[in-house]
Structure 1
């Protein structure tokens, strides 16, 4: 990490190890219509908002900063997202801590110097990790679970000590133009922070949301659908040649799912294919045009293969349970061309207007979703704010 001048570095960077935490603290008004919360609250970073907008923020006088150390705990399965931001000079000098590919990434701007450093262990394993940031002269050190994780040094003839002015801190977003960063990241993270202790400051934080979402006590990998919306992809983003087969794989405890798991709709046409789970009948029904394939519980994996002349459904890699539906019975040759310009919805039914009206939304956890053998990241979809992209309650 880099230093922003002795005091600023100590404040801003140390601030790095903010104490981002459980939001179970009741907020109080501050006269400006903003809810105030403790810096030691637990915070769910994936709460819906403008993706770059911080969930909470505060401002302190640099002269009030007496500590050069900050710490907090982080838990996530998400490989990417913004965690903490700090700046001075109203954004003239700034610091950002995020994850990229699961690894801590620090970006700092001070005067004429811009630095980006990534390193340390991967943190997106779903476990609580303690991060501590401290300032040592020209170096800022990030420790992870008590072990050195990242060391950043910064020196410039223009850098001077700053012992006056304001320090702004933010959690879950940034306060500068994202284009200023060297490394671009997807901002919103499906993760939690808690137990923060930063710079010995006790001032309250302002919350941008009226209600801050709490975190699940225990989590497991997957995408969670609470029954209130779905995620939509343009099928054109998936590489596919019509002469080859198209594979979609779904993993999870299908006994715990209810609602539309998946639907495919060609542009300007009726929905072509749906997968629907029913808690009442304890089965999953695949609808292809006017035909149906019914798969009984239990199974944990469902492989759906579209070919020119047939559709194959295989639960749990058990060929004895596979179902084959001739395409000639339900469609016409060339039906796969619809895949090149259509919509794929996860967690709901695509109606005539590609909206949520009349959809039978999914309730449950999809542990993994793959298209053509590659994991599907719901962060890249247009999705309802209630969906957790990388974690499910355990």
Structure 2
């Protein structure tokens, strides 16, 4: 009898352990919370944190649609990204309006057709433009500032079906897989939309953002860092030239910046290079290994050249310093470009976690004489990649 009781007790303990193990190994589910927002609101499309995921979206029954026209105002300096998306039949028929090279790009899927057309006026000039997208029988028309921008003709051998079901609309992202598109492009759009009238609908849209980023009244080209994020690049993607060296150049009002402008960290090592601005002292400090250079002069252009035997610093065209590199440290110095990580707007730490984030505007960033697009970074967050408030 005692043995039987012990066996029952062991079985109960085993059952409790199995239940506990099953409970703790279940995947955690996360609920996305949506907030309502007016379709006519002013929204900054640049705050989307997840590539291709819309900033805001809405859904309506097709029987409620009384207009086949959508109008809105749009402003950007960004040459590429998603503006507006719509679909029916749960994504079988869809429409995408974006920019590529600064020009409007429309891509449409309908029944057995897949169409792409680009052209019209260049829109990334930083000015507000009024855009109108409308459907006229077999044609989809994009008007820009009252003039015809793009016209797409669609004609299928299949019989048109009566539209039933629901229509989905989205801003700043899409709701289909990207491999369905004819023309691939980067999704991030540092731009603003306002005064939208979407198919004459009055229902609210939904957004996951806790609050919508502001759209500043006046903007200028550049990359704006609000002190909450940075961009990371694999340094190996930049061409290296041991004879001519590697040039990084920054433009902007350095006296108005505060925080880390740039840092470079070799793989598995401490930060080797850092450029930090201090708004209180109006100093810009460059740290390169054990060497430190403090610049107190006012300047708006800074160029750092990494060479085999020295690091040269120029501001506004005049040489500020030349830091010699010993032959012993040169191999490790070049390895930071072959295997290291470069950050713009933050100080790199372990596992590429940033700190001392930059507050201010970098009007231009160049590496090896070519403009650096922050949208190409492996990770970037909480910044405006192509515009700065004035």
State the TM-score, normalizing by the size of structure 2. Answer: 0.87
Displacement, 1:267?
A: 1.0
**Counterpart check, 1:371 vs 2:370:** no
SS at match of 1:328: coil
Aligned to 1:348: 346
Aligned to 1:276: 276
Aligned to 2:47: 47
Aligned to 2:156: 156
Any conservation in 2 of the 1:229–1:383 contact (CA below 8 Å)? no
Q: 1:38 to 1:291 in 2, by over 3 A?
A: same
Q: 1:268 to 1:72 in 2, by over 3 A?
A: same
Deviations 1:339-384 (A, max 9, x none): 111011111112244312xx22211111111111111111111444
Distance in 2 (CA, whole Å) between partners of 1:48 and 1:200 is: 26
1:270-309 to 2 correspondence within 5 Å?
270-309=270-309
Distance in 2 (CA, whole Å) between partners of 1:163 and 1:341 is: 54
Aligned to 2:356: 360
Aligned to 1:339: 337
SS at match of 2:46: coil
- RMSD across aligned C-alpha pairs, in angstroms? 1.9
Any conservation in 2 of the 1:111–1:159 contact (CA below 8 Å)? no
* Count of aligned pairs: 359
Q: 1:179 to 1:332 in 2, by over 3 A?
A: closer
Distance in 2 (CA, whole Å) between partners of 1:113 and 1:314 is: 56
Any conservation in 2 of the 1:74–1:129 contact (CA below 8 Å)? yes
SS at match of 2:348: coil
Q: 1:333 to 1:67 in 2, by over 3 A?
A: closer
Q: 1:199 to 1:334 in 2, by over 3 A?
A: closer
Aligned to 2:377: 381
Any conservation in 1 of the 2:41–2:194 contact (CA below 8 Å)? yes
* Higher mean displacement: 51-60 or 150-159: 51-60
SS at match of 1:338: helix
Distance in 1 (CA, whole Å) between partners of 2:327 and 2:283 is: 23
Deviations 1:218-249 (A, max 9, x none): 21111111122321111011111323311000
State the TM-score, normalizing by the size of structure 1. Answer: 0.86
Displacement, 1:295?
A: 2.2
1:95-174 to 2 correspondence within 5 Å?
95-174=95-174
Could you list the runs of 5+ residues in structure 1 that have no partner in the other structure?
1-31
Q: 1:248 to 1:159 in 2, by over 3 A?
A: farther
Deviations 1:19-71 (A, max 9, x none): xxxxxxxxxxxxx9532221111111111332222122222222222223221
Distance in 2 (CA, whole Å) between partners of 1:330 and 1:189 is: 45
Any conservation in 2 of the 1:308–1:334 contact (CA below 8 Å)? no
In our comparison, the structure showing a higher alpha carbon Rg is 2
